Amino acid sequence: MTSSTTGSGTGNATGNGFGLCAGRVAVVTGAGRGLGRAHAHALAAEGARVVVNDLGVGLDGAGGSAGPAQDVVDEIVAAGGEAVAHGGDIATAVGAASLVATAVETFGRLDILVNNAGFLRDKMLVNLDEDAWDAVMRVHLKGHFLALKYAGAHWRAEAKAGRAPQARVINTSSGAGLLGSVGQGNYSAAKAGILGLTLVAAAELGRYGVQVNAIAPAARTRMTEEVFAEAMTASGEGGFDAMAPENVSPLVVWLASEAAAGVTGRVFEAEAGRITVMEGWRPGPSADKGARWTPAEAGEAALVLLAAAELPQPVYGAQ
């Protein structure tokens, strides 16, 4: 299901003008509100033509409306940019394939995929039912996988046809995926899975001219508005809204541009005015007996290694 609206103008707001992403075509999932909306606007402001994907569902994934995606398209067009709405479900093969097709059929190419769509169904583990687990895994992890699969297949075909792309994928993880979050076992697991998927995709698709990175943003959206409602930092004339989703988008735009050449398989935290390169799992203290340990020996060695290791970061919400 698609609906399109395009416009043209001058300057950075138009897909045919100037800007870091001038001449490039981006698709952004979950772009009707929050972070996705901010990313779509920021990409358009830097010259990209944008496919705005959103089902218009509620915070828990229920319902649906074409309004949010079309509203963002109308805003981009009013600013002199070019955009098209896409209402397909990217957690289905049909929806993900049509997302890629919409970009190619409308704008003639695809250069950027920003995977952002998601919702919450929070419960403590012992109260978390299978439906809530499956629903969150479906939209976050399967949605990332399918959009990446069909975009990757398109770019592979382009590369094999001699039209080597300079393609970019930006996946959306979370601090919950990096550290875990109490009451969000399903969400944390899905966001951690996105990090693993990012690393694999970067390794597999690099030969076709595709770079794949992930962000772990912190911003005030429908999913976090209660947490960040009062988070404001006065900085400069008029103040600085530290939790505005627009603070995350500049990094996304740069990662989506040709200026980010050579940056792939990396994870960035982005919050307010701070950008952090996350270093992930890497070997710490180690011991090698050169033979099989007994259980008692393994325990003794583990205690020595733990004493030499850095303490892990605390899980969000842990006491």
Tell whether 69 is covered by a domain: yes
**Residue 77 in domain:** yes
191 is a catalytic site residue: yes
pLDDT in tens, 176-232: 999 999 999 999 999 999 999 999 999 999 999 999 999 999 988 655 444 444 444
**Cα-based angle 275, 56, 43 (whole degrees, multiple of 5):** 40
- Our answer to whether residue 187 is catalytic in this structure is yes
Query: Residue 288 falls within a domain, yes or no?
Result: no
- For 25, the domain range is 2-278
pLDDT by residue (tens digit) across 237-289? 457 889 899 999 999 999 999 999 999 999 999 999 999 999 999 999 999 99
Q: Which of 43, 32, 23, 55 is nearest to 113 (CA)?
A: 43
Residue 308 in domain: no
**174 is annotated as an active-site residue:** yes
- Which of 181, 187, 188, 257 is catalytic? The answer is 187
- Tell me whether residue 303 is in a domain: no
Q: Is the pLDDT of residue 65 over 90?
A: no
Structural domain contains residue 228: yes
* pLDDT at site 62: 54
Looking at residue 161, its pLDDT comes to 98
Q: Catalytic: which of 173, 174, 181, 249?
A: 174
294 is a domain residue:
no
Catalytic residue among 98, 191, 249, 257: 191
Residue 116 has pLDDT above 70, yes or no: yes
| CATH assignment at residue 230 | 3.40.50.720
Number of compact structural domains in the chain: 1
pLDDT above 90 as % of the chain: 82
H or E element at residue 95: helix 93-107
Confirm whether 316 is domain-assigned: no
Helix, strand, coil percentages for the chain (3-state, nearest 5): 45, 15, 40
Of 85, 27, 35, 76, nearest to 55 (Cα)?
85
